[in-house]
Structure 1
């Protein structure tokens, strides 16, 4: 499974209609939807689809046609997300009608193409590499821990120091973070 960590935009014109697609990290879904409604007040439709992993690692998905004929826009957009095995993302497609009706088949093709185009522009990230883990360490373990971080190429998300300990949040491959935890445990226990 894959995800994204930044917003990507692509524009497509078909028979004078303009389709602007936005691939957005899911945690920005509500705020970005509100932003698009304000930014594109004259748009005829703002279609969306999303997929995310809930706390039980189940994929939750939803979509809307936003006034387009049933299953001609949201469902094709969702199918692009499924086909690319994307999670924790949403695609919004803003449509400005150009005066020429596309028909149901034309709409399905246009929304599919617009969604596929924005996904193809994105830098996809393996979801396993986005795993985060918190470590609470005594100061005497810090040098060894920092060595493990360097050799395993993981990212420090947050670091908080207290009187006796340091709390460090790492992001990286799930398996690697679990191996770091095991190395710390084995060395100091």
Structure 2
């Protein structure tokens, strides 16, 4: 089964469980080398930590999966992190959970829950993106029509990638293929057919998953 999403933001989160600090770091990693470099980076930053446990999945088909307990009892850290990535259908993603031991042992079950919770918090705060076919589109129109056009774009959740201001306004957009004709018809109505539109070949582009 193919994974559906990549993480949106590279961030870190932190939770405290029975005086132990669990700091989760999540990053987009396109290759296994990227994943290893990210893990090494976190281990270097937190060299004083008790453990830096990690997991990653590379590729939509999840052919590359790795988990590392980094000294925690076998199966209590890396695998629970990996299971979160699988459950959330993430790929090209690496999570490192850094633990600073607080003096209270959690037991195997407690460790599994702690590492799972920590990884899940990072995934939640990072957000998800997915790939969709998009048409790079350039639109030129008079300033008179910008308010109505931008209101339309907002309602349709079409992101403005860039704008240029000269004697007219140029919009650079990425539009989902089925929406191109609706944009064209709306512009005809708004501008009385006084606009210019140029489209390019389809590209795969990221869209943020809105929950």
Q: Quick check: 2:8–2:126 contact (8 Å CA) kept in 1?
A: no
The structure where helix makes up a greater share of residues is: 1
For 2:150, the equivalent position in structure 1 comes to: none
Find the aligned partners of 1:88 and 1:49 in 2 and give their Cα distance.
Answer: 11
Report the CA distance shift for 1:132/1:94 in structure 2 as closer, same or farther (over 3 A).
farther
Unaligned runs of at least 5 residues, structure 1: 136-144, 157-169, 183-189
Distance in 1 of aligned mates of 2:175 and 2:35:
24
Aligned with residue 24 of structure 1, among 27, 45, 53: 27
Matched residue, 1:142: none
CA contact (8 A) 1:45 1:94 kept: yes
Q: Among residues 138, 152, 170, which one is paired with 1:146 in the alignment?
A: 138
- Partner of 2:201: helix, strand, or coil? helix
Q: 1:69 to 1:92 in 2, by over 3 A?
A: same
Matched pairs, number = 153
Q: TM-score, normalised by structure 2?
A: 0.61
After TM superposition, where is structure 1 displaced by more than 3 Å over at least 4 residues in a row?
153-156, 170-176
Structure 1 match to 2:92 = 88
Among 121, 126, 133, the alignment partner of 2:125 is: 121
- Residue 42 of structure 2 corresponds to residue 42 of structure 1: no
TM-score (norm 1): 0.67
59, 68, 73: which is aligned to 2:72? 68
Q: Would the aligned equivalents of 1:155 and 1:172 in 2 still touch at CA under 8 Å?
A: no
**Greater Cα shift, 76-85 or 31-40:** 31-40
Which structure has the bigger radius of gyration? 2
> How far is 1:8 from its partner?
1.3
The CA RMSD over aligned residues, in Å, is 3.3
Does 2:110 correspond to 1:106?
yes
